[in-house]
Structure 1
Amino acid sequence: MSPNNELETPKRPYTPIMTRQQNVNFRLQERDLEILKVVNRYRYLRTNQIKRLVFPENRSIQSTRKRLKYLFHNGFLGRINPFVAPGAGQPDTAYFLEKSGAELIAQHFPDEEVKVYGKSGKVRYQFLSHALELSEFRMYLEIALSGHERIELGRFVADFEVKSHLQNATGHKRYKLWHELQHPISRQSFVVYPDGLFILKGKGSFEGVQKLFFLEVDRGTEGGNAKLKGTHQKG
């Protein structure tokens, strides 16, 4: 399929969160493919985040919304509204990759690793907020390192990406990366795992140097006891 070809609206059910319109025709552009690629890489992205990553030169967000509208109504992207407190205004819509979008990426970019998560459109608000915070950190990290003379991002792996490979496992075996801790008083053992990990690699005279970092996203909404309940307890 050429980026300049007319696309027919796919016959597929809409995501229950927001209804799709029928027969919304558009011409696929290179920027549309870039949007699909970046959403594939992040899993969940807000409209404003997509603008920062794909349309950084645009002052207005209208062109971003226009392309996202076309991609959504033609079934390439799904969308969902994150939770906002009453009176806080309209939420910034979040987008995720649909199967048709994944197929389009595979068609145009055979070497691209495509990731489709079956329940992306039926996600709890708490998980979505967490995933979007991960995307926010990753976005700023990528922007900060873009064009950096000495450092580049070697790899970024979010927690849901790690766990997706081990869905049939239980306990701490669900995670590829984990560390066992022991409470100093109760002597109970707990397994903790990171929200994400990333590798920074050196460039130029620093080539061959790399550092691994573990990421914990703390939105300030949980106390210590709540975090402790989120670990895997042993014994």
Structure 2
Amino acid sequence: DDFSVTASCRAEDSPGCIGCVSRSTFSLAEICKFSQSLGSLFLCVRTKTLSVVEGYFRFRIIRRANAMNLTERDYCILSKVVTYYVLSRQQIQHLCFPSDKTGRVTRRRLQVLVSSGLLNRHRAEVIYPNSSPAGSVYYPSPKGIELLAEHTGDECLLLTPTQPPIAHHVAHWFAVSDTHIKLAAAIASQERVILEGFINEWDIVNKDAKEPENRFRLYTLLTDSPKLVCAPDAAFMLTVPVKSDDSTVTFSKVFYLEEDRSTSGANQVAASKCKGYAALAENNFHVKHFPATNVQAFTVLCIAPNARRREALRKAFKGKVGSELWRFASADELAAETFLHEPLWYPVTGEAMPLVKPEAVQ
């Protein structure tokens, strides 16, 4: 094959670079000997999907990963961080190393990924809930998502956000991830209710756009003047087959997530959130986020840190526009076993109800 790559190399480059010479030329056949997984990458280069320079730098990432002998659990870490965006060491240990009682194996593999640039780590300047005093925050890196995209063949992973979380919002993001983990475990523990996608607040739909309403999947600009936006912490859709006398009907409903950390007064939260969601419902904009939904209404799930805060929020939301869309729960009552079918979700007025009625899926 006449295809070749010409690349520059600096003397200070790491040992994983292609060669320590001022300029080197490599034939496609020579490069492909490094890894069979490079086939799809160079197909992209040859078909102009990637530029030669982009292909070269992705090749360097893959070659360094091969040299480090990454394990499947290393790829598990990268995958989980991409899925949840922000995770603590304890959360990663729970997801990928459940038998690692001391955390030594988890810390060692995390250090390998951080040192190689495949994972970002932000050292916490404050003590976060469920974290050790020296706790750290882990989030995706550009190198890590490029390697994971090549490993899985999923180019959509390249849209994963890699910006560091704002320091004073980290506890909030830990809580969002914790809720997502519980939901995923609840779905995995049964077979009837299906989770049809989970969108985080910072998930990107157009990486070249600068306006947030065009860049991010969930951020919705409702009116320009006065400015009214709706920016949920996350969103997901549940598909439930409901049996009737002689048939089964499938319903797919959208849920938005608001994670409350008691950082603002309950009345302030109600005033700032209700109008946006009410306008979102009035215009049926939830269909833009999940086009497959066949339920006209959506539900906003507000999770408070404890029952006392939950009741304060219910009182504050009473009488507000769109308050019928909301359900409130306490984080300390939610678990994988109770998330779907236990009556833990309170409307503004009335008794608690389950997210999915157990009799509907039996």
The normalised TM-score by structure 2 is: 0.47
Amino acid at match of 2:163: K
Amino acid at match of 2:91: Q
Choose from 125, 131, 145 the match for 2:167: 125
Amino acid at match of 1:119: Q
Distance 1:148 1:80 in 2: 36
Alignment of 1:149-164 (within 5 A): 149-161=191-203
| 1:105 counterpart residue number | 148
Say if 2:240 is the partner of 1:202: yes
Contact 1:79 1:95 in 2 (8 A): yes
Contact 2:140 2:162 in 1 (8 A): no
Alignment of 1:9-88 (within 5 A): 26-84=68-126
Say if 2:138 is the partner of 1:95: yes
Contact 1:154 1:198 in 2 (8 A): yes
Distance 2:212 2:141 in 1: 28
Between the aligned residues of both structures, percent identity stands at 26
Contact 2:160 2:203 in 1 (8 A): no
1:77–1:220 Cα change, 3 Å: same
Contact 1:34 1:54 in 2 (8 A): yes
How much has 1:46 moved relative to structure 2?
0.7
Once structures 1 and 2 are overlaid, which stretch shifts more, 46-55 or 105-114? 105-114
Contact 1:171 1:232 in 2 (8 A): no
| Structural RMSD (CA) | 3.9
How much has 1:222 moved relative to structure 2?
1.0
Contact 1:157 1:197 in 2 (8 A): yes
Q: Give the 3-state SS of the residue equivalent to 1:35 in structure 2.
A: helix
Distance 1:99 1:174 in 2: 18
Q: Give the 3-state SS of the residue equivalent to 1:69 in structure 2.
A: helix
Q: Give the 3-state SS of the residue equivalent to 1:95 in structure 2.
A: strand
Question: Deviations along 1:180-220, whole A, 9 cap, x unmatched?
Answer: 69xxxxxx885443211111123696773222111111001
The aligned length equals 206
Contact 2:201 2:219 in 1 (8 A): no
Which has more radius of gyration?
2
| 1:14 counterpart residue number | none
1:81–1:231 Cα change, 3 Å: farther
Question: Deviations along 1:58-117, whole A, 9 cap, x unmatched?
Answer: 33322111111111111111101234259x961421111212211211221102631443
Amino acid at match of 1:35: I
| 2:253 counterpart residue number | 211
Contact 2:122 2:138 in 1 (8 A): yes
Distance 2:123 2:275 in 1: 30
| 2:184 counterpart residue number | 142
The normalised TM-score by structure 1 is: 0.70
Higher-RCO chain (CA-CA 8 Å, sequence separation at least 6): 1
Distance 1:74 1:170 in 2: 31
Q: Give the 3-state SS of the residue equivalent to 1:104 in structure 2.
A: helix
How much has 1:32 moved relative to structure 2?
0.4
Distance 2:213 2:168 in 1: 21
Structure 2 unmatched runs, 5+: 1-13, 18-66, 277-362
Contact 1:175 1:193 in 2 (8 A): no
1:41–1:118 Cα change, 3 Å: closer
Distance 1:91 1:180 in 2: 42
Q: Give the 3-state SS of the residue equivalent to 1:117 in structure 2.
A: coil
Contact 1:80 1:94 in 2 (8 A): yes
1:64–1:8 Cα change, 3 Å: farther
Distance 2:189 2:229 in 1: 38
Distance 2:109 2:215 in 1: 41
Amino acid at match of 2:236: F
Contact 2:202 2:217 in 1 (8 A): no
